[in-house]
């Protein structure tokens, strides 16, 4: 519909008008995505290829960022690590969103004992430190990318449940919900077609911000050795592997660490800007 395109254009316009930092952050994320997709093309090495003669080599023409303690090219591992980070964060955020939104909708619409049970369980989960929770779940579920994603997904989930629950509680009282009931609309259709769409702005913002949180958690888990298992390159594990060589080859830990930091900040800034862009109050008309 023409009207929907207008709204999208308006949102994009507002998004990019927020200043240079937003533009830089957006560029970083685009770069991340491109790097993740084109990693094999950008480097001649594979991420697990070991050059044992060139262990801990300094940056040179052959190895642009040097090699690690097993002779693996740092740049290559960095690029493939981007892929892992992106995969892990998107997958875990999706898991968190889908399950969390579902619980939030049900808890908010059918208050009473179902709602209470869900919210109390959520509260219980939130009272545990996220990293500790992750560690317990990782121990139970084992490693592997999918396992890690499920673990992180479950850890991030309560944020969605709480948020959607609150939104639904407020939206539920609106006249248009009453109107739908009066024309005979069934409850699940009201949930799906009225309540859920009106939560979209919040969901989009939460999702964007959670991508940053997910990368943080994944890096932390990998750093501790319970996340993505070797030899798959993950920025977090690269930081921990480079720890022993911090004095002579500091960049082995610092560069992957910087990457994590930049990407997380970028996601947070973009998440903020997306929220501002989607806010209907900024839609031009006075």
Partner 1 sequence: MSERLLEVKHLRTSFFTYSGEVKAVNDVSFHVDKGEIVAIVGESGCGKSVTQMSIMQLVQTPPGKIVGGEVWFEGHDLLKLSQKEMRKIRGSQIAMIFQEPMTSLNPVYTIGSQITEVIRTHTKCTRKEAWQKGVEALETVGIPEPALRMKNYPFEMSGGMRQRVLIAVAVACKSKLIIADEPTTALDVTTQAQVMELLLKIVKEQVKSLIIVTHNLGLVTRYADRIYVMYAGRIFESGTTKEIITNPKHPYTKGLLLSVPKLDGNKEDELIPIEGAPPSLANLSNHCAFAPRCPYKTGKCDEAPIPELRLVGADDHCVACHLLSNEE
Partner 2 sequence: MENADKILIVKNLKMQFPVKRTGIGEKRKYLKAVDDFSIEVERGKTFGLVGESGCGKTTAGKCILRIFRPTEGSILYNGRDISTASERELRDIRREIQLIFQDPYGSLDPRQSVRSILREAIVSDNQPHKSAEINERISELLSLVELPEEMSDRYPHEMSGGQRQRLGIARALACNPKLIVCDEPVSALDVSIQAQIINLFKKLQKKLNLTYIFIAHDLAVVKHIADVIAVMYLGSIVEMMTADELFQNPIHPYTKALLSAVPITDYYAEQGRNRIILEGEVPSPVNMPSGCPFHPRCAYATERCRTEKPHLAKCFDGHFVACHVMKPDGAEK
Is 162 in contact with 203 (CB distance < 8 Å)?
Answer: no
Task: State residue 2 phi and psi, 5-degree precision.
Answer: -60, -40
Binding test (CB under 8 A) with partner 2, winner from 8, 27, 139, 178: 178
* Residue 42 CA, distance from chain mean position: 24
Which residue number, 13 or 181, has a Cβ lying nearer to partner 1?
Answer: 13
Interaction partner, residue 243 (partner 1, partner 2, none; CB < 5-8 Å by kind): none
| Three-state secondary structure string covering 15-68 | HHCCCHHHHHHHHHHHHHHHHHHHHHHHCCCCCCCCCHHHCCCCCCCCCCCCEC
Residue 185 contact partner, candidates partner 1, partner 2, none, CB within 5 to 8 A by sort of partner: partner 2
- Could you give phi then psi for residue 285, rounded to 5 degrees? -75, 140
71 Rama class: left (phi>0) / alpha (psi -120 to 50) / beta: left
Q: What are the strands, taking DSSP E only, across the chain?
A: none
Please say which residue, 129 or 284, places its beta carbon nearer to partner 2. Answer: 284
Kindly write out the interface string for residues 226-265 of this chain, putting x where it contacts partner 1 by CB under 8 A and - elsewhere: ----------------------------------------
Least spacing, CB of residue 276 vs partner 1, in Å? 15
Q: How far is the CB of 1 from partner 2 (least distance, A)?
A: 6
286 binds partner 2 (CB under 8 A): no
109 burial (CB, 10 Å; 0-12 / 13-18 / 19+) is buried
Say whether residue 281 binds partner 2 (CB under 8 A). Answer: no
Q: How far is CA 46 from CA 50, 75, 241, in A?
A: 9, 10, 18
- Draw the binding track, 191-230, toward partner 2 (x: CB under 8 A; -: no contact): --xx--xx-x------------------------------
Q: What is the 3-state secondary structure (H, E, C) of 96-159?
A: HHHHHHHHHHHHHHCCCHHHHHHHHHHHHHHCCCHHHHHHHHHHHHCCCHHHHHHHHHHHHHHH
Instruction: Map residues 223-262 to x or -, x wherever contact with partner 2 holds by CB under 8 A.
Output: ----------------------------------------
Piece of the chain touching partner 1 by CB under 8 A; list 95-103, 155-163, 256-264, 278-286: 278-286
Mask: binding to partner 1, 54-83, rule CB under 8 A, as x and -? ------------------------------
Give me the residues that bind partner 1 (CB under 8 A), please: 284-286
Give me the residues that bind partner 2 (CB under 8 A), please: 1-3, 174-176, 178-185, 193-194, 197-198, 200, 280
């Amino acid at each position: 519909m023409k009207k929907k395109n207008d709204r999208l254009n308006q949102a994009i316009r507002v998004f990019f008008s927020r200043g240079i930092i937003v533009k830089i952050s957006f560029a970083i994320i685009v770069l991340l995505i491109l790097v993740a997709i084109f990693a094999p093309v950008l480097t001649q090495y594979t991420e697990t290829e070991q050059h044992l003669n060139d262990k801990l080599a300094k940056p040179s023409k052959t190895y642009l960022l040097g090699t690690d303690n097993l002779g693996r090219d740092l740049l290559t591992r960095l690029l493939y690590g981007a892929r892992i980070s992106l995969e892990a964060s998107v997958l875990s955020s999706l898991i968190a969103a889908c399950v969390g939104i579902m619980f939030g909708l049900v808890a908010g619409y059918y208050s009473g004992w179902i709602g209470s049970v869900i919210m109390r369980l959520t509260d219980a989960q939130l009272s545990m430190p996220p990293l500790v929770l992750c560690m317990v779940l990782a121990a139970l579920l084992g490693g592997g990318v999918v396992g890690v994603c499920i673990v992180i997904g479950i850890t991030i989930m309560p944020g969605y449940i709480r948020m959607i629950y609150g939104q639904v509680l407020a939206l539920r009282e609106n006249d248009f919900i009453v109107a739908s009931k009066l024309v005979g609309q069934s409850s699940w259709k009201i949930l799906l077609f009225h309540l859920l769409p009106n939560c979209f702005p919040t969901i989009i913002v939460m999702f964007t911000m959670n991508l940053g949180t997910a990368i943080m958690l994944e890096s932390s888990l990998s750093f501790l050795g319970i996340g993505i298992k070797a030899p798959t390159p993950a920025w977090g594990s690269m930081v921990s592997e480079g720890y022993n060589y911090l004095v002579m080859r500091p960049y082995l830990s610092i560069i992957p660490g910087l990457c994590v930091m930049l990407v997380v900040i970028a996601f947070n800034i973009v998440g903020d800007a997306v929220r501002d862009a989607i806010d209907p109050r900024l839609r031009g008309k006075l």
